[in-house]
Structure 1
Amino acid sequence: MTRVIGVIGDVHGNAAALTGLLALVEARYDHLVLVGDYVNRGKDSAAVLQLLVERAGDPGRFSLVAGNHDLAFLACLESDALQHFLMIGGAATIRSYVPAVEADVLRQLRAAVPPSHLRLLRSLRSHFHEDGLLVTHAPRDVPPVQAPVLFHVYGHVPQRSLVPAVTRAAAAIDTGCATLTDGRLSCLAWPSLEVTQVDDAGREVRP
């Protein structure tokens, strides 16, 4: 039997939006897939990762795809790639872990990030593929897969209309959470393509 799957777009450090959206959709769908970019831009990246840590222990219910911002955060923590991380909005993430920044901010950050958050970042997957549904972070992140792909859902590209761009074969569901003025966080259902959205404060918005 095909599971009913909800796919959640780019969160970008907005814990209020993620909390509000999960409250609406967690009980509604059999499985939730998140497209990545959990950190940067918004002010609560540490809180977002903690929310995901608390749910990652149930792989039957949650699948977490890696976004480029998440991979940059991991590279910053593991291989001194601080400058690139700062160039793509990492300062907000650092402040969510280190309120009072000192000269050696990378040392402070590494000391402040809990081991559970680091394990989560290392565990993020490249894609999700089930029953014809392919979920990746970006539109070009299409891996070789054995079974046919009927529908491709991805984030990464902010939709200035603030609603997912849905065609017969794909959906772009980054609706500007923490990145666009009045941005929203969206969840797209598969196979119904029903959309659920919240605003930056986590309040439901009718798309």
Structure 2
Amino acid sequence: MTIYAVGDIHGYADELDRALGLIEADGGPDARIVFMGDYTDRGPDSRGVLDRLIEGLTARRNWIAIQGNHDRMFLRFLTEGRENDSRIKSGLSWMNKRLGGPSTLGSYGLGGEGAAFLQAANGGVETLASYDVAGSPLDREELVMRAREAVPQAHKQFLAQRPLWHREEGLLFVHAGLRPGVALEDQDEDDLLWIRDGWLDDPRDHGPLVVHGHTALDFPQHYGNRLNTDAGAGYGNPLVPVAIEGRDAFALTPRGRVALNLGSSA
């Protein structure tokens, strides 16, 4: 059985459409696909990405969509007005264009890149001072209210209902990775969404092949114990879907399949 994984999309709806076309050409219209999270931020059309995923899930396509850290940041901004996450050691706000919040809000008609005016306080933690929407400066509370009105309820529900992980026979799909040596049921949510240190350099067998994203590369890469599907779409690279058969993996390109041998990057 072939299972397809689509790494971090980051608001590039056109790249999602292209990746879905590659998957259909390889595995047909009923292909089983796991989307690895980070549907929003940085790219110009987060709204379009969520529309496509919701449409597919509503139509009962053979799709699974797990949660990414950027999806949680967007949801927390909508529900709690929160713009900072303790796992961002730099103190950057979600409203910084490097994280991509303004691009996401822009896809719903609220400002966009360059709309946020930020200030650093509280030991260097960045916070929103004002946000320009159609020439009107809004404070954070006003922006949150406008965002709650602009974002459809179906999008909020989609973000809130994403699972943190998904299991198939011999495979575990999770956005960022695992804390090595910790049972899945005891994993910390923040680690599942954010982990890099202590995970990326751990060579041990985790049991199932762990399929993840979160750490951007220039091409998907197979490490034997884990498979990184994030090909850097959030930084302008093409979105590269991956076909998984057992513990073997293949990148799907316009030229066809490219085997992802252990340690290979192209």
- Name the TM-score class by shorter chain: 0.7 to 0.9
Equivalences for residues 1-207 of structure 1 within 5 A = 3-26=1-24, 28=27, 30-58=31-59, 61-82=62-83, 84-87=93-96, 88-100=99-111, 101=133, 102=136, 103=138, 104-140=142-178, 144=184, 149-159=207-217, 162-180=218-236, 183-191=237-245, 192-197=248-253, 204=254
2-structure distance, mates of 1:106, 1:49: 19
Pick which of 51-60 and 88-97 moved more.
Answer: 51-60
Q: Shift in Å at residue 99 of structure 1?
A: 4.2
1-structure distance, mates of 2:104, 2:66: 19
Where 1:193 maps in the other structure, the secondary structure is strand
2-structure distance, mates of 1:115, 1:163: 35
Q: Relative to structure 1, is the Cα distance of residues 152 and 46 closer, same or farther in structure 2, using a 3 angstrom cutoff?
A: same
Calculate percent identity across the aligned residue pairs: 29
Pick which of 51-60 and 14-23 moved more.
Answer: 51-60
In the alignment, structure 2 segments of 5+ residues that lack a partner are: 85-92, 112-132, 186-205, 257-265
Amino acid at match of 2:53: L
Amino acid at match of 1:24: L
Check whether the contact 1:12–1:39 (CA below 8 A) recurs between aligned residues: yes
Q: Relative to structure 1, is the Cα distance of residues 205 and 72 closer, same or farther in structure 2, using a 3 angstrom cutoff?
A: farther
- 1:169-194 superposed Cα distances (whole Å, 9 cap, x missing partner): 211111110314xx121211111411
Check whether the contact 2:8–2:36 (CA below 8 A) recurs between aligned residues: yes
Q: Shift in Å at residue 85 of structure 1?
A: 2.4
Where 1:7 maps in the other structure, the secondary structure is strand
Where 2:233 maps in the other structure, the secondary structure is coil
Where 1:185 maps in the other structure, the secondary structure is coil
Find the structure with the greater CA-based Rg.
2
Where 1:41 maps in the other structure, the secondary structure is coil
Which 4+ stretches in 1 moved above 4 angstroms?
none
Q: Shift in Å at residue 93 of structure 1?
A: 0.3
Q: Relative to structure 1, is the Cα distance of residues 141 and 14 closer, same or farther in structure 2, using a 3 angstrom cutoff?
A: farther
Q: Relative to structure 1, is the Cα distance of residues 19 and 141 closer, same or farther in structure 2, using a 3 angstrom cutoff?
A: farther
Q: Shift in Å at residue 205 of structure 1?
A: 6.4
Pick which of 148-157 and 131-140 moved more.
Answer: 148-157
Q: Shift in Å at residue 94 of structure 1?
A: 0.6
Check whether the contact 1:134–1:149 (CA below 8 A) recurs between aligned residues: no
Amino acid at match of 2:46: S
- Corresponding residue for residue 200 of structure 2: none
Where 2:48 maps in the other structure, the secondary structure is helix
2-structure distance, mates of 1:205, 1:76: 41
2-structure distance, mates of 1:205, 1:89: 31
Where 1:171 maps in the other structure, the secondary structure is strand
Cα-Cα RMSD: 2.2
Check whether the contact 1:12–1:45 (CA below 8 A) recurs between aligned residues: yes
Amino acid at match of 1:82: E
Under a length normalisation based on structure 2, what TM-score does the superposition of the two structures give? 0.67
- Corresponding residue for residue 259 of structure 2: none
2-structure distance, mates of 1:50, 1:139: 26
2-structure distance, mates of 1:137, 1:59: 22
Amino acid at match of 1:18: L
Amino acid at match of 1:85: W
1-structure distance, mates of 2:108, 2:13: 14
Q: Shift in Å at residue 37 of structure 1?
A: 0.3
